[in-house]
């Protein structure tokens, strides 16, 4: 999902509207609106104007991403990578224990 699609979905949720509600207001099909939200369809300027008016935003407000949104996305990515790194560290420790056990077994013989 692209940034614009995420923002449109967030705005829709804030209004408490379903995809069907927005699709009717935009006079398009539900699948067409779904494709806008997921970023499958590129949105033309006319449709962007229509969407911005629907959510009572300027076109610039609709298209801009705030630093807070970008920071949250970056933080989510960092947290995800940090969790993966922690999982790998646990795997490495377990492998080190196995190597030590095998080494000890070889020296006992």
Secondary structure E strands in 54-105: none
Mean pLDDT, residues 70-91: 85
Tokens of 74: 């970056």
pLDDT band at 77 (very low <50, low <70, confident <90, very high): confident
Tokens of 41: 């369809």
Q: Indicate whether 69 pLDDT > 70.
A: no
Q: Which sequence spans correspond to the domains of the chain?
A: 3-63, 66-109
Indicate the average pLDDT of the chain.
89
Q: What is the pTM of this model?
A: 0.59
pLDDT of residue 68: 62
From the candidate CATH numbers 1.10.579.10, 2.130.10.10, 1.10.10.10, 1.10.260.40, the one assigned to the domain spanning 3-63: 1.10.260.40
For residue 78, the 8-state DSSP code is H
Residues 37 and 9 sit within 8 Å (Cβ to Cβ): yes
Closest CA to 25 of 52, 59, 2, 1: 52
């Amino acid at each position: 999902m692209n940034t614009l699609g995420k923002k449109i979905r967030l705005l829709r949720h804030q209004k408490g509207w379903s995809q069907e509600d927005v699709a009717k207001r935009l006079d398009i099909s539900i699948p067409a609106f779904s494709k806008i939200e997921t970023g499958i369809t590129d949105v033309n300027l006319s449709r962007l104007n229509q969407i911005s008016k629907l959510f009572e935003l300027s076109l610039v407000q609709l298209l801009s991403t705030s630093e807070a949104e970008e920071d949250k996305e970056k933080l989510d990515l960092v947290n995800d990578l940090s969790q993966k790194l922690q999982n790998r560290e646990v795997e490495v420790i377990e492998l080190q224990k196995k190597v030590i056990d095998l080494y000890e077994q070889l020296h006992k013989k």
